[in-house]
Structure 1
Amino acid sequence: MSPNDRDYSEKRDYIRMRVDAEVTLIHQGQVIPAVCIDLSSTGMQVRATRSFKVGDQLSVRIDSEHAALRGLEADTEVVWVTELEGNGQKLGLTILKMN
């Protein structure tokens, strides 16, 4: 079952942590700065200035500010896109694999 097949209430069963952290997206060799809005065990919501489409696969890196904590690196897939007024998009990313 794909994330799109789950009903709304099931998607909300996952705990979401508000993050507002700078992240790096890597798509086809391009490095794109973005902001992670929230994060759960299965995905994340990201705001980016570059346009993506559903199905795009992105590597995401969130660096840790603490030397004792490792940052997050994950392979993800875009599952929804919302255009923002002016410039950019909000993206729903499902985590395919943690690196």
Structure 2
Amino acid sequence: MSQRDYSEKRDFIRMRVDTEVTLLHEGQVIAATCIDLSSSGMQVEAPQRFQVGDPLEVRIDSDLAALKGLHASTEVVWIADQPGGAQKFGLRILAMH
């Protein structure tokens, strides 16, 4: 990790959320878990494997009428394989909808 990468990570506050999310990738709908969220990205764990550079649409629904859910276009920027075939990965938010 370069010094620039480290300083950029420190510029954004991460919020631990541990909430269910829906991923859309090439016509597939995948249930996943958002582990943490910042203004520039998120860490997600899913049962399906992705590659760095894969585009994903992410949706986080809200049960609260006063709080609109999140819908974002993202890109996979890092991956970490987990036991049992699952994968944790980092997503960069490209656009919010």
TM-score, normalization by structure 1? 0.92
1:45-84 residue pairs with structure 2 within 5 A? Answer: 45-84=43-82
Deviating beyond 4 angstroms after TM superposition, the runs of 4 or more aligned structure 1 residues are none
> How far apart in 2 are the matches of 1:5 and 1:93?
20
Alignment coverage as a number of residue pairs: 96
The structure-2 alpha-carbon separation of the partners of 1:79 and 1:6, relative to structure 1 and needing over 3 Å to count, comes to farther
Percent identity between the two aligned chains: 67
Give the gaps of 5 or more residues in structure 2.
none
> How far apart in 2 are the matches of 1:5 and 1:91?
21
> How far apart in 2 are the matches of 1:75 and 1:62?
12
Equivalent residue in structure 1 for 2:86, among 66, 88, 93: 88
Check conservation: 2:49, 2:85, Cα contact below 8 A. Answer: no
Give the gaps of 5 or more residues in structure 1.
none
TM-score, normalization by structure 2? 0.93
Once the two structures are TM-superposed, the CA of residue 8 in structure 1 deviates from its matched residue by 1.4
Note the aligned Cα RMSD (angstroms): 1.5
More displaced, 8-17 or 31-40? 8-17
Once the two structures are TM-superposed, the CA of residue 5 in structure 1 deviates from its matched residue by 9.1
Larger proportion of helix: 2
For residues 20-69 of structure 1, give each alpha carbon's deviation from its aligned partner in whole angstroms, at most 9, with x where no partner exists: 00000000110000000000000000000000000000000000020111
